[in-house]
Chains A and B, each alone.
Chain A
Amino acid sequence: MALIDKVLAGYTATLWMQDDATPTPLTVGQLSTWTSQVASIIGASAGGSGTTGIQVPVEAVPSFGADDAMAAYSIAGQRTGAKITTQNQPTSMTVVCPWNPADTAQLLIRDDGYNGSIVRTFVVAIYDGTNTVAYAFNAMVGGMQWDMSPSAEGKFTFTIHPIGSDFYGWSNTP
């Protein structure tokens, strides 16, 4: 497995998604399968093939991973309770795009948000020019907002909500 073995600049992360209006999201196994699955969503500029995906032109890829989750147990009268780690859920990502009303990816996201039930595979790709590491997850779009402040470009902000704790996977260039 050819993993990147250097510290990367944040600029090298890009966000991709399936480009069908009514996509079939990847299965749990496919989310961590590079060849013909995740690689197809990532474009050539980030080391993929891009046959079924499109780039989302975000200003910056927000933090991704899992939300903090733990359960605290305590018994009345006891001075300290126990913290027990539970399964974390993939975190929601609030994304800001420079609003371009003709951008295909932004229009797809707008349609997803309007539809409310479309599940789509999103991929964060981190690329060093040779190898790619990918974090793929299935999610719905919500919380769309357009900010047309006159002092800068219009912003399109939306939140990608992962649909379940199993529906994400890591993969990388073989």
Chain B
Amino acid sequence: MSTQQNPYVYAEAISYQLSDIVDPVPVYANFNRNFAVEPEFLTWQLRNVHQPVYTGQTQSNKGIDTPVFQTSIFAQSMVDAFNISNTILQSLHGYSGMFGNPDTSGFIIAKADVVWLYNTFDDTVGMNQIILDCTLYIST
């Protein structure tokens, strides 16, 4: 039984947490070609925000949220791309605890589950990319 969470809070927390993990590599929401002049950076997108809904007229009768955020790690050097991705993997996969800024909108997550999807190369911008998916299990 819980109310609908605000995805904006998720976004704040994701941005904070990724920045904290990979500092000083810049972290952006979504890709912008202007970023491609930088030797390394990463972007994230939040998706699949969904709390299962249960029976009844009470709108707050819902389960936990399990949103996914996709992280794209960009680097001119493939070694950097792998190393930054590994830093995120080591830090987030299986992590349980405070997610986001503990002084503002951070919240406790039950679990973070990272899937390393694939690596690729964008010839146009000359950057290696590695794509990670991270599922958050958020008690509500």
**Residues of A in contact with B (beta carbons under 8 Å apart):** 10-15, 45-46, 55, 57-61, 97-98, 100, 103, 127, 150, 152-153
Contact = CB atoms under 8 A, between A and B. Distances in A.
Given A100-B1, A100-B2, A127 B57 contact: yes
A97 B55 CA distance: 10
Contact of B63 (A45, A98, A150): A98
B55 A58 contact: yes
B24 interface: no
Nearest to A46: B57
Contacts of B64: 98, 152-153
Contacts of B54: 57-60, 98
Contact of A45 (B58, B62, B66, B137): B58
A167 to B, nearest CB: 24
23 contacts: A11-B55, A11-B56, A13-B56, A14-B55, A14-B56, A14-B57, A14-B58, A15-B56, A45-B57, A45-B58, A46-B57, A55-B56, A57-B1, A57-B56, A57-B58, A59-B55, A60-B55, A98-B61, A98-B64, A127-B57, A150-B137, A153-B64, A153-B139
A10 B2 contact: no
Interface size of B as a range: 10 to 19
A contact patch SS: mixed
Most buried by B among A58, A59, A152, A153: A153
A84 B137 CA distance: 53
B88 to A, nearest CB: 21
B139 to A, nearest CB: 8
Contacts of B110: 150
Contact of A152 (B2, B57, B63): B63
B50 interface: no
A153 B63 contact: yes
Contacts of A61: 55
A14 B111 CA distance: 31
Contacts of B1: 57, 97-98, 100, 103
A127 B56 CA distance: 9
Interface string B9-35: 000000000000000000000000000
